[in-house]
Each structure stands twice: as structure tokens, then as C-alpha cells.
Amino acid sequence: MRAGPDVPYERAKNAEYLVALEKKLKTRIEIGIARNEAWANPGGVTLPFSPDDLHPLIGRVGLESPHELLGTDFYIGPRRLVVGGVEVYSCFAEVAKLFYQPDGGGFEGHESVVVRRTFEARHREVVAADDEWVRDVMESPFAARKLGVPAAPVHRPRRRFTLDRERDAPTQPELLIVQDDAKVATAEHTHIVRPPLGTRSPVGMRAVEAVRRRLSAPRSSQLTSVLATLQPDQYEMATSDPRQDLVVQGHPGTGKTIIATYRAAFLVDPDREGNSASRVLLVGPTKQYVNHVQGILRQHDPEGRIQATHIESLLSNFVASKSSLEHTFAGRYDDLDAHTRGLCEIAAHKVRQLDRFAMHKDVRSRWLRTTYELLRTNGQSGRTQLTDNPAEVAWLKNLPTFELASSQRRYLPLLAQCALALRAPTVQEQYDHIVVDEAQDMSPIEWNILDQMKSKAGRWTLVGDMNQRRSDTSYESWEAIAHHLGIGSGDTQFQATTITRGYRSTAQILELADKLLPRAQRGVEVVQRDGPGVQKIWASNPQKLFSISVDIAVDFKTRYSDGMVAIISAEPTALTQWMARHGWRRDRSVHRWVLGGQLLNVYGPASARGLEFDAVVVVEPSKFKQHVGKAGQLYTSLTRANRELAIVWQKNLPQALR
């Protein structure tokens, strides 16, 4: 990797691209949906243009000799545009493989690639670039182009491209830049003097220095674009054949959420090969997850063809429930068994026979109640039982009343299945592709519900980590999920794709968390090899447990003032009550707490899934629930930290963490 190409020129070209992109997207996009679809697609139907939807240029590819269609060089961006006679291709077009894949992904002409330039942007302005040379040539293919383009807008003082040598210590010779800042506005290339070809990037990675700078940057509440540093394996999975199902197994921090999000964006991209999807459903674990990925989705989907939601919200929409039931998940496997669908459909059929009114909103609520009560009483009229299976009869007998069931997260999937048995989604309401992140936590009945929302020819993308399962009510293997959904049946053999390179957490954090796993499943390849050691602090009595935890978190926040710090506890309510008694006040979000200018995030293990922070304090790990002998919740919580982790305990520290 070599750093230091002519950034002012690229900054100006990016500014020109953004002007053209804004003009293309500025028209308000009206999305029409049928009235009877609103229950499955809640929210606004108009997506006005926002400057936040603009994504800067991603990179540039230089060729050794002119290509018939590509010329000697071309750019990669979020959308295809022609800017001042220069081609900018979509990051999801076939030609983008020349940028993301070392072998060009089989794209014709990859042998001619000489250099790949990766841009680093802040506030949509190019501030740095890294050149990755495939081989030496007499002259850079970028040096031949001289174009008059507008001067880039200046939001901050211009600077020469430099590296923080203590933080980024390049492993290869730097490029020597000879430039005259007074002539930047002419957008002419500066003269580049290249040293001899240095060492290559680590096997399987690209844009390594840009990745490391990215990892050292502060975390934020929303996932920010990583298109410029997307790795070859991540890109290959995100853009794999949309006509095939995809299952991805990955350890924490391997980029699963990035893959899921860009997979959804790829599916609706108008520039990709084949017909883009009309409707894509992205399902995450929590409301915080949806907020986390929303910004990226808007940049790639201004037409609103991707619906991002979380499983509880999805189920609540079917039941027409507006109450928040998060953190109350519990129950028996019977409540979530896949075979429950059959009983619900029998009960719904009986209800329709008894009441033949039109299926409008007022009647739907009454029918749901009647269907559930018929299920609970196994037919209640006594004429015909729904089932005579002793196990099922006993389970139905123990179901609570409709009022009680409606207030518990445990029974939400069952009520949603009853609602779908009464009214299945129409063809227009179904999705061409369903992407599920944290898929390991879906219960059998939830898979049934999602399956009914997929079109007949639709496909799945499932992303998750079986080591992070948080409940025994979910399937214990990808093979079991694949069997349930029919993935790999017929001519296609099921095979999960495994990713093993960890980006988010340091080696010190992952080595500790790995001890919670069976030996055969340990050993993630770590990118952040250097980091502080994990702190383990014992509280001498219960009264000090929370005070020590908060003090450490405040210290973390002092050092990561521009980033995010979280406390994760199995008892978040007790923790926040203690904080409230000591002057902390809840901020705009239920998870944000402030005191004297300090801001901390407090999460339970369930609501922290899919998120990441600069530093994390895990409180009393012995109280995190286990299932089938595995510490899935604790494992997930430990690996939310990007740079630093502290464990505070008062009771027994789990043996694996000692």
C-alpha cells in the first residue's frame, strides 16, 4: 500500500460528482402503496431528498493500456454518472469487481489493472487517498488525464496529504508529492514520483492502511459507509448471485451487518447485472439496529424499495400492537414451534366459517381474539378438537387469556401467526428477497412468518453467528434453519459461507471472548493486533458494583470523547435506577444517560446486539444467561467493544474469564 496521491484533484472531481448526483436525486420520490398493504409496510410513503443521501466517490482504477469501453482509468461511486467526460460506475456494477477483487472477479480485462486508488472521505469531501499498485509501470495511468473541473468547496483549511506517523506508521515507502496548492483550482494533476514497488497487502485484504485508519476512528450511533474499504470476501458475499440463497456464519466483528446492509443495497441497485429487486425486507434484532443501518440504506435506496425493520416491530404490526415488549422475551419451545402454524390455520378456518363478514380492520381485531381463544381452548365448542395430540392438548390448555398473551413478548409470535392464518400477505405485499441479520436468534414460528412474507420465487440472505444464540427456542445449527426454509433442497446443496477475519475488536478482547467458545470454534484472524489489555475489576461489595462500573465508563468516555462508550448489564433497569439516584438523567434515547456533560449508553445484552462502541464495561458476567451450556449473551456483550473492554464483577467470575 502506498499513500499520498494527488488529493486536491480528486477532491475537486468528487465535488463535481456530488453536484451531478444531487441534481439526479433532488426530485422528491413518491412511493405508492396499496391501502391494504399499509399493515405490512408501516411508516411514511414519501422520501424527500436529503443532502445526507449523497455518497462521495469511492475509488479509482488505473489500467496499463486503454480499454475499449473503460479507457485508461475510471471511477467507482454509489451511482453511475458521467462527470466531465469521465465515467463513474456504480459500486455494484460488474466492472466494480476490478476495484474490489484482486482477480477482478472474472471480469474481462483484469490483467490490465495497474493501480487501485481508495478514497477516504469526511463529510462527503475527499481528504485522503491510498494507491495500491499491482505492478510497476513507467507512468501512472492517472497522470495522463488533465481536466478543467470546478474547485472543490472548502469546508476546512486545505492540507497536504499526510499520515499520523505514530498512529498509521506505513509499512511501505510513501509517495513523494510535488504540488503547488495555489494551482489546485485548475484541477490539474500534481507530479507523482513513485518509489520502487513495495510489499503487497496481507493475503485476502485490500486498502489495508485505510482500513486501519477507519478502525481507529471514533464509533457513532449510525453505521457509516465502508464502501471504500469493503474487503474482497465481504464484497463477494454482498454481491453474490441474487437468484441463490446465501447463508453467512461469522464471529463478532467480521462485518456481518455490513454484508447484510450492502446485500440489501445491491439487490435494489439499478446498475447491477440482471433485474433489480422491487421489494427487499431487511430484518434486524432491535430498534437500535434499524437506526444503526438506516443512513446507509438511504444513500443507496432513495426510492424506498428496502424496508428495514426489527422482528418485534414486524410481529407487532400483524397483531396491531403498539406496546413495547422488548427485553421480556422468554418462554417454552412449544410457544414457538413451527408446527403451531397448522393449529393456527385450523382455528382461523373455523373462525371464518362462523363469521363471514368482510375482512376489514375492525373485524380483523375481533377475529384475532376469537382465533386465539379457539386455539387456547382447543376448539371450545366441543364439536371438533383442533388436535388430539396429548402434548399439544396440554400446551394449548396452559395458554393464557388473550389479554394476558397480548402483553407478553413470549406470545407475540403466536399471535402474529394467528393473524397471518386469518389473512396471508398478497403477492403484491410479498418480498423478492428477505435479508435477516442475527438470524441465529429467530424461532421456528418466526421463520414461518417470514417465509409467508417471501414471494414464491424469492430468496434468502441469512447472516449471523451460532455462537451468539441467546435462547434455546431457536435452531442450534444453520443446517436446521436451511431444512426449515427449504434452502439447499432440490438441485442446490446447502452450504454456509464462513468468514473468519475480525475487524472490530482488538486481539486482546477477542482472545478473552474466545475462551467462552468450544476449542474447535476459536481462532478469529484479527486485524487490530495491538490494543490495551482487558481490565478485570472486583467490587468488594454489591453497593460498589455500579459505582465502579460507571466510574470506569466515565474514564473511557474521557479518552474517547468523540466516540461511544457503553455499559452492558444483565440488569440494566437496576443500573439505571442507581444512576438516576446519583444525578444521571435520561437523554433523548432510553439508552442514553447524561451527567455534567458526560454521556454514557446503557444496554441489556439483547438490545446491544448488532451494535459497536469504542469502549465497553460489562457488569457482573455471571448473571448473563446461558443456554445449552453456552454463554451466547456474554460472548456477544464482550465483543461489542472496538478498542477497550472492562469487566466489573462482585460475585463469581466465570472460570473462562479468569
- Residues that constitute the known binding site for ATP: 250-257
Compute how many other C-beta atoms are within 10 angstroms of the C-beta atom of residue 289.
26
Strand runs labelled E in 465-547? 497-499, 501-506, 525-528, 535-538
**Structural element, H or E, at residue 454:** strand 454-464
- SS3 call for 83: strand
HSE toward the beta carbon, residue 635, CA cutoff 13 A: 24
On whether the CB atoms of residues 320 and 344 are closer than 8 A, the answer is no
**Structural element, H or E, at residue 641:** strand 641-649
CA distances from 202 to 36, 112, 261, 639 (A): 53, 21, 25, 24
**Which conformational region is residue 207 in: left (phi greater than 0), alpha (psi within -120 to 50 degrees), or beta?**
left
Closest CA to 318 of 459, 435, 433, 453: 453
- SS3 call for 91: coil
Separation CA 437–CA 261 (nearest Å)? 9
Burial class from Cβ neighbours inside 10 Å (0-12, 13-18, 19+) for residue 612 reads: buried
Residue in this structure with the C-alpha cell 463469581, named with its chain if needed: 652
Q: C-alpha dihedral over 192, 193, 195, 197, to 10 degrees? A: 40
Separation CA 210–CA 214 (nearest Å)? 6
Residue in this structure with the C-alpha cell 456504480, named with its chain if needed: 90
Give CA 82 to chain center in angstroms.
Answer: 31
Alpha helices in 82-202 (DSSP H): 97-100, 165-168
Closest CA to 418 of 520, 507, 521, 345: 345
Separation CA 575–CA 561 (nearest Å)? 22
On whether the CB atoms of residues 462 and 477 are closer than 8 A, the answer is no
* Residue numbering of the annotated binding site: 250-257
On whether the CB atoms of residues 3 and 163 are closer than 8 A, the answer is yes
On whether the CB atoms of residues 467 and 628 are closer than 8 A, the answer is no
Separation CA 229–CA 235 (nearest Å)? 10
On whether the CB atoms of residues 76 and 96 are closer than 8 A, the answer is yes
